[in-house]
Amino acid sequence: MNPLLDFSGLPRFDVIQPEHVAPAIAQLLAENRALLERLAAPESPATWAGFVAPLTDGGERLGRAWGIVSHLHAVNDIPPWREAYNALLPEVTRYYSELGQNLALFAKFKALRASPEYATLNAAQQRIIDNDIRDFRLSGAELSEADKPRFQAIQEELAALGAKFSENLLDATNAYGEYIEDDALLAGIPADVRQAAQEAAANEGKPGWKFTLHAPSYGPVMQYADDRALRARMYRAYATRASELAQPEFDNSPLIVKLLQLRAEEARMLGYANYAEVSLVPKMAESPQKVAEFLREMAAKARPFAERDVAELREFAREQLDFPQLESWDLAWASEKLKQARYAFSDEEVKQYLPEPQVLAGLFRVIETLFGVQLQVDSAPAWHPDVRFFRITKAGALVGQFYLDLYARDEKSGGAWMDDAIGRRKVAVSIHAPEGIYAPEGIYAPEGIYAPEGIYAPEGKQTPVAYLNCNFSRPLGNKPACFTHDEVITLFHECGHGLHHLLTQVDELSVSGINGVEWDAVELPSQFMENFCWEWQVLSGMTRHVDSGEALPRTLYDKMLAAKNFQGGIATLRQVEFALFDLLLYGEYDPSGKRSVLELLAEVRREVAVIVPPEWQRFPQSFSHIFAGGYAAGYYSYKWAEVLSADAYAAFEESGNALDAATGDKFLREILAVGGSRPALESFRAFRGREPRIDALLRHSGIYALYAPEGTEGMVAPA
């Protein structure tokens, strides 16, 4: 039996192989197309039970199987999995495009929306119907029959280009290695980073040290290496990845142009002026103009602080480091020197107090205290020996489970992300399975699998499962891995996404967990969780020096807190730069015109940036968020949701206890539990009892005093 067709429990990663992909996905596509044909027939009732429920069930089977394939393509991108994924990607994309353009199904949803039954459905079910009607329109259902094939072809090509963009970036990252045999060139680089580099070289049978462009190697070199030439080489390699200036075979430049052209054509076909307008339809933001105003307002508020940050750094470099001019490859290094001089500590010093076991224990304590759940080690087949598995329970009952894949690998996509493996939903137990539906031993369908023509037992619950992925340094020797404080923040961030998925109490799959949540609100729980990494009552309990076993000294914590907003102005403008570039790229830029993408980026930098990299930097070629990660015309979401998350966290500050269980329970009930079953702004209002304000974000960013003096009401966040 094909393990990709086994939906009776967790994915069977111990036996799933690339050769299972084609037959499993082909079978599911055939089954789903037959289901769609039956549901689209005139005699099929436009009711929840007779139409929406079976459509959801069939879609879940395909979604779960293809989700496993997509996940393995991301975390184990070896040639067999890449080939298996790319071979079926066009077929899967074509199916979803056909589904989105099916006028008969669209008509059924509209008929259900207009029927008396709609008023009898619960709020989650009504929201699903409303979302589906919106999504059918965005999928081209109202296009003429003559235009639909072209729209479908666009979707297939966009999917292929996005996958190729990610693959080029990973291949370009892996293609570069900096080999060093003279240990004098390693001055300043932390011992654990040097050890990892030595092991990397030894694994290739080479002497000395090998540094790479993966974050655990590249980041510390740029931050600590005293050898300027080494930093310059590494910076140039990183800044030109996947471009015409590095390995031409991995150049993403032509893919970017084609992606932009196709997005623009898609928008025109749907009747919109540009793709940014299309992107914002299912989001909170009202229009691209409103988003641009928000970003430029943030830039104006941050600019004085960013200019001060840059002036201080340049003065320090001249007077203390004898650097009359700082280059891009000097910035992280000089900034670290300035931070050490000003605050008398380094990130590397803090890292020694954050070994993995203590960090995870501290994270779990926060979750357990706030939300009244218990986290325990669990077991399940995984895709790599490093992967661990956990369960979440409440009052002894299973709430959810998650895989934790923390370490960087050559075959794993960079960055950090959460994805769902299984969603929470209400299910029926099928007693008789129809022909063609997988049933163990040929008799009974597995629990939770919907059988369109079967007989059903009482309803049950399907518990959610999530993937949490990071790219941290692995353990070396007999010591546990140690994380920088920034990495701990990243871990808390991804766990926030995971909690949004795992702690949902919505039983309708399409709006449970993160499903159906507006894209520019989905970062609220993740950015909310980051705040706990700065609380003494949290941090003090999750630290232990990797050698001495001592807890983090309060004096060191006080220095960290004092440096919390170190160069915060620069960081804010950097995020605004990325977001505004993305918005204008999809909103105002003409991909068929004479102006290049790099020229647009230069214009954005002239408007908002205080630090401008070399003209040969090729940032867009590695900006996978907006070209391959679903953030097209949506990167602003990080700042937009940060207004919500900072204001939400302020409720805990106001309680006088960062781990106040009552406030945590309310956050669980009004934000996490409801998922996408209601608009995000309604959920925020239910939690805070009012509209969101920007005060907390300004205060947390260190610029509150100038723009929101004590006693003012502050500014209402974009809505």
Yes or no: say if 124 and 677 are a contact pair by the CB < 8 Å rule.
yes
Angle at 259 between CA 258 and CA 264, to 5 degrees: 100
Q: Roughly how many angstroms between the first and final C-alpha of the chain, as a whole number?
A: 50
Would you tell me how many other CB atoms lie within 10 Å of the CB of residue 205? 6
Task: Please list, in sequence order, all residues whose beta carbon lies within 8 angstroms of the beta carbon of residue 48, skipping any fewer than 6 positions away.
Answer: 112, 117, 121, 125
- 279: which 2 tokens? 């992107």
| Catalytic entry in 167, 178, 487, 494 | 494
Tokens, residue 257:
């142009």
DSSP string for 62-113? HHHHHHHHHHHHHH---HHHHHHHHHHHHHHHHHHHHHHT-HHHHHHHHHHH
Contact 82, 56 (CB under 8 A): no
What does the H/E/C string look like for 286-340? CCHHHHHHHHHHHHHHHHHHHHHHHHHHHHHHHHHCCCCCCCHHHHHHHHHHHHH
* Residue 83 token pair: 């080939």
- The answer to whether 368 is a known catalytic residue is no
- What is the side-by-side order of every strand in the sheet holding 417-422? 374-378, 388-394, 397-407, 465-472, 417-422
Nearest to 303 by CA among 563, 605, 610: 610
- DSSP structure class, residue 49: I
Nearest CA among 355, 353, 348, 345 for reference residue 563: 345
To 5 degrees, how large is the angle CA 443–CA 444–CA 445? 130
Beta 178-180 vs 465-472: how paired, if at all?
unpaired
How many CA atoms, within 13 angstroms, populate the side-chain half-sphere of residue 313? 26
In three-state form (DSSP H/G/I as H, E/B as E, the rest C), the secondary structure along 429-450 is EECCCCCCCCCHHHCCCCCCCC
* Residue 296 tokens, joined: 């430029």
Residues 6 or more apart in contact with residue 17 via CB below 8 angstroms = none
Measure the CA–CA gap between 348 and 565, rounded to whole angstroms.
Answer: 18
Q: Is 400 helix (H, G, I), strand (E, B) or coil?
A: strand
Report d(CA 67, CA 69) in Å as an integer. Answer: 5
Angle between helices 253-269 and 568-587 (to 10 degrees): 60
Q: Is-contact 76 11, C-beta < 8 A? A: no
Joined tokens for residue 477: 């020797």
Q: Got the DSSP string for 326-379?
A: --GGGHHHHHHHHHHHHHS--HHHHHTT-BHHHHHHHHHHHHHHHH--EEEEE-
One-letter amino acid of 311: A
Catalytic annotation, residues: 494
